[in-house]
Amino acid sequence: MARADIIMAEQPVDVLIVGAGASGAAAAWSLAETRMRIVCLEQGDWLNPAEYPSTGRDFEERAFGEFSISPNRRARVTDYPVNDDASPIKIANFNGVGGGTILYAGHYPRFHPSDFRVRTLDGVADDWPIDYATLAPYYDENDRVMGVSGLAGDPAYPPKPVQMPPLPLGKAGTTVASGFNAKGWHWWPSDSAIATEPYDGRDRCINLGACLSGCAQGAKASTDITYLPHAMRAGVEVRTRCRVREVTVNDQGMASGVIYLDAAGREHHQPAEVVILAMNGVGTPRILLNSRSSAFPDGLANSSGLVGRNLMFHPYASISGIFAEPQDGYRGPVDCIWSQEFYETNSAHNFLRGYTFEMTRGRGAVATALGGMNSGRIPWGSEHHSAYRELHNRITGMVAICEDLPELHNTVTLDPTLKDPDGIPAPKIDYTLSENSTNMLAHAVARAGEVLQAAGALEIMSEAPLAVGGWHLMGTARMGTDPATSVVNEWGRSHDVKNLFIVDGSIFVTSAGVNPTRTIQALALYVADAMKQRLANLFD
Ligand SMILES: Cc1cc2nc3c(=O)[nH]c(=O)nc-3n(C[C@H](O)[C@H](O)[C@H](O)COP(=O)(O)OP(=O)(O)OC[C@H]3O[C@@H](n4cnc5c(N)ncnc54)[C@H](O)[C@@H]3O)c2cc1C
Ligand code: SF4
């Protein structure tokens, strides 16, 4: 249908949240108790877990199509394309209610206290304007809503509560743990946002595997089944198939709402007193840069010039071993143990900061066959079946998730030609791997190889950086106290536009060496709480 020229004006709301993923859902839930009129706009749809790939035998095929982690491959009408040709690490996300949590693995580590102080400790990047102690109560609150399984007492962390027992190690976890034991290196059962007991109306994990294309069991804590049902019962409206094109401003330079396109391509103006952006580390800078006006010619909230800069992924190394004994294959959640032996800076290393090892379970039948064919381990001809059998259910290993330091030249900008189905400019990614990350990856590949060998691996395979691994998107609208060197202040409010807030991974100052979602959500609750405490003078 052709787009209408007339903009449809909606009823004003108090708080408008853009994005119903990990952070938008948490902020909506927290603010709901204020009884303000809150609307959450989401470009995607609600998902129906009964239709997730894991409910059918073709689950592996569907995970490479309509449930692909790559928006470019998935190419749903609810997706936007991303030009990531100039990056060795490709973007992975999901656009729908729940956002990335629909496809995430549910690895759920917290940051370490040191992660907030890397300038002080190591002379790199910058310290955060808040510390671990500030965030700790919000970590706890988020954990209660999402439900975290794990084992208390991990020596790598300050004490932290868990709600449920840890995931079972299974054969693969036991194998990898035996390698860490042989080396005398730290490992611990992972914290996971996966229920191991019935929790808040959700059932427990039944080890089906296929977590990365949606958990039909409801055991994995995606925000469509955790935060949002509670938020909606408290009065929040979630409006789907609403793709925001720009944030509008009034004559006073304050945010006045957003323009969005509905499923039929009709333009709407949604007025709001307060706008909160939660579109992730790529989606948020994209829309800020697309919100140009005479008052903000370089994009909204961009007087520092930092919107879209300092993009951080976590460069990943993937290291697997082939074992003589059968492992778990794809059955079971992806991860059940981690090691933080090499997490903190060590002067003996040729890199600063560090990384976490996270065990990865195994591969499905199709992935085993494709991997075996591509690597030449499975030939055509008479050896074909026996070669396949030597790999089937016999591969397990780990990934290393490396701290990525912020660099100005790693950017999200607007692509000059590529557009989404509604004609909104697509994001363009320019990213180069730093020497620090390259050295860290090499160290991780070597150490993981030692662990897998000690665990009995016959052969070791690795990929670094993992090309598909652009699933952690951080740093493109960083927080800080100085408006010249940050986009939002220490409680998530834009320095330039007083009624504009950001709660997603864009506001990270540094990336730490762990998965970010638990910290993203704790930060969203912290920002929402700051808003509640300062409601009377939000606009001063
Ligand atoms: C395959 C995969 C595995 C992962 N595994 C883990 C893991 O194990 N542990 C972990 O911590 N993290 C993991 N992640 C990352 C995790 O999903 C993200 O960190 C998290 O979802 C980010 O939260 P967010 O709120 O910043 O953004 P998102 O969850 O991405 O939500 C953003 C939402 O905004 C919407 N949106 C964007 N632009 C617009 C627009 N213009 N108009 C309207 N709506 C818009 C999107 O549709 C989306 O729903 C994984 C991600 C993927 C893809
Ligand atoms: S392994 Fe557990 S969390 Fe993963 S999809 Fe199956 S039931 Fe869900």
Phi-psi domain of 106 (left: phi exceeds 0; alpha: psi -120 through 50; beta: other): left
- Across 48-63, b (16+ Cβ under 10 Å) vs e yields ebeebbbbeeebbebb
| Pocket residue to mutate for ligand 2, from 215, 225, 334, most atoms within 8 A of Cβ | 215
Phi-psi domain of 369 (left: phi exceeds 0; alpha: psi -120 through 50; beta: other): alpha
pLDDT at 187: 98
In which band, very low, low, confident or very high, does the pLDDT at 192 lie, cut at 50, 70 and 90? very high
| Pocket residue to mutate for ligand 2, from 192, 205, 225, most atoms within 8 A of Cβ | 205
Q: 491 Cβ partners below 8 Å, 6+ apart?
A: 526, 527, 530, 531, 534
pLDDT at 1: 38
Q: What is the number of other CB atoms lying within 10 angstroms of the CB of residue 325?
A: 9
* Percent of the chain's residues with pLDDT above 90: 92
Closest-lying ligand to the alpha carbon of 168? Answer: 2
Enter the tokens of residue 351.
């890199």
Residue 218, ligand 2, Cβ within 6 A: no
pLDDT at 4: 47
Q: How far is CA 497 from CA 115, 373, 487, in A?
A: 28, 54, 10
Residue 195, ligand 2, Cβ within 6 A: no
pLDDT at 8: 86
Asked if residue 111 has pLDDT above 70, the reply is yes
| Distance from the alpha carbon of residue 143 to the mean position of ligand 2, in angstroms | 18
Closest-lying ligand to the alpha carbon of 220? Answer: 2
Residue 147, ligand 2, Cβ within 6 A: no
Beta-strand ranges (E) seen in 302-354 are 316-322, 337-339
Looking at ligand 2, which atom is closest to the CA of residue 194?
3
Give the pLDDT mean for 60-73: 95
This prediction has a pTM of 0.97
| Distance from the alpha carbon of residue 320 to the mean position of ligand 2, in angstroms | 21
Question: How confident is the model over 302-315, as pLDDT tens digits?
Answer: 999 999 999 999 99
Q: Which of 20-34, 221-235, 264-278, 325-339 has the lowest mean pLDDT?
A: 325-339
Cα separation of 124 and 228, whole Å? 38
- The kind and range of the H/E element at 454 are helix 435-454
Residue nearest to atom 3 of ligand 2 (CA): 220
| Distance from the alpha carbon of residue 280 to the mean position of ligand 1, in angstroms | 6
Give phi and psi for 320, each to the nearest 5: -125, 155
| Distance from the alpha carbon of residue 471 to the mean position of ligand 2, in angstroms | 19
Mean pLDDT of the chain: 95
Give the pLDDT mean for 474-499: 98
Residue nearest to atom 2 of ligand 2 (CA): 205
Q: Which of 74-88, 357-371, 425-439 has the lowest mean pLDDT?
A: 357-371
Residue 210, ligand 2, Cβ within 6 A: yes
Enter the tokens of residue 75.
């190419």
Asked if residue 265 has pLDDT above 80, the reply is yes
The structure tokens 């620090």 sit at: 436
Asked if residue 6 has pLDDT above 90, the reply is no
pLDDT at 2: 41
| Distance from the alpha carbon of residue 170 to the mean position of ligand 1, in angstroms | 29
Cα separation of 77 and 35, whole Å? 34
Residue 334, ligand 2, Cβ within 6 A: no
Residue 333, ligand 2, Cβ within 6 A: yes
In which band, very low, low, confident or very high, does the pLDDT at 535 lie, cut at 50, 70 and 90? confident
